[in-house]
Amino acid sequence: MNSKVFNRFREIIYDTAGIHLNEKKQALVGARVAKRMRALNIDDHKKYLSYVLEDKSGEEIVQLLDAVSTNVTHFFRENDHFKFLEEQMQKWLESGQRKYRFWSAGCSSGEEPYSIAMTLLQTTNGHKPDIRILATDISTRILSASMAGKYPAKKMENVTPFLRERFFTKEGRSESAVYKVNNAVKQMILFKRLNLSVVPFPMKGPMDCIFCRNVMIYFDNDVRKRLLNEFYRLLKPDGYLMVGHAESLTGMLSGFKCVKPSVYIKK
């Protein structure tokens, strides 16, 4: 892919998804787009660019975003967030709160919302609060994987045998085994496609806690600021925002107070 074509793809990706790709990503984008081109039998990046631009349905842009988005994730990633959630949930339960709303924004293949759901089910043992978790992503491909909730054994390393037993059904044996998330967990979660770079969002809130981890790293400061304002609007007072450990939001979080690294409270 030459630089001119790459720059045009960059613009399209930024304008539609807020994803900022620097010059160093040219080879990566070229390789990922090539995979999509093979599926369409298109042998030239410039021709594929025209194909994207001429597709009035908008479906090919969705496919392009699917191809370039990075979906790395795992169960209980950055586990201190889940420990924090557990402690907070205990406090909310003791205060008599009955209704809870959570959001996994940029949920990838589902490990994050399922980790939230398992943490909450473990903590609320015996109680029957009204809990709903919204899980959103821009990638339709990855959302289908989320909804299917099926994970090979090698993706289950961070899930304890106790949690596997309680929340998954195992199909097959040893290394070829697949773990299916049980319906009791799945039915707590609503999966939706949502582009985090296009605000305002249709939800009203208020939410108790928003996880938006390892997503804002792909955005520039303009997109981040717009997104943080929406998170602020949607959170209840004293609601929490969790971001990835490597993300720096210094100077952008007016109204939020940092309670510990990568955990913010709406004040």
Give yes or no for a contact between 118 and 163, defined as CB atoms under 8 angstroms apart. Answer: yes
101-140 residues near ligand SAM, rule: CB under 6 A: 106, 108, 112, 137-139
C-alpha span between 144 and 101 (Å, rounded): 22
Is the torsion defined by CA of 11, 16, 22, 26 positive or negative? negative
Q: Any contact of residue 196 with ligand SAM (CB under 6 A)?
A: yes
Q: Considering the complex, state which of residue 76 and residue 167 has its C-beta at the smaller distance from ligand SAM.
A: 76
Q: Considering the complex, state which of residue 17 and residue 89 has its C-beta at the smaller distance from ligand SAM.
A: 17
Token output for 125: 């043992």
Neighbours of 4 (CB within 10 A): 9
Among 215, 235, 243, 253, binds ligand SAM (CB under 6 A): 215
Residue 61: CB partners within 8 Å, gap ≥ 6? 12, 16, 52, 55
Residue 128: CB partners within 8 Å, gap ≥ 6? none
- Collapsed DSSP state (helix, strand, coil) of residue 250: coil
E strands, 81-125, are 99-105
Q: Segment contacting ligand SAM (CB under 6 A): 7-15, 64-72, 150-158, 228-236?
A: 64-72
In the complex, minimum distance from the CB of residue 66 to ligand SAM, in angstroms, rounded to a whole number: 8
- What is the enclosing helix (H) or strand (E) of 240? strand 235-243
What residues are annotated to the active site?
Answer: 32, 137
Size of the site for ligand SAM (CB under 6 A): 24
CA distances to 91, 199, 256, 267 from 87, rounded to whole Å, are: 7, 32, 20, 19
11-40 residues near ligand SAM, rule: CB under 6 A: 17-19
Q: Considering the complex, state which of residue 186 and residue 213 has its C-beta at the smaller distance from ligand SAM.
A: 213
Q: Segment contacting ligand SAM (CB under 6 A): 124-132, 165-173, 178-186, 207-215?
A: 207-215
What mask of x and - would describe binding to ligand SAM in positions 140 to 179, judged by CB under 6 A?
--x-------------------------------------
Cross-strand bridge partners of residue 169: 180
In the complex, minimum distance from the CB of residue 97 to ligand SAM, in angstroms, rounded to a whole number: 25
Among 7, 88, 195, 229, binds ligand SAM (CB under 6 A): 195
Contacting residues toward ligand SAM, per CB under 6 A: 17-19, 69-73, 77, 106, 108, 112, 137-139, 142, 195-197, 213-215, 218, 244
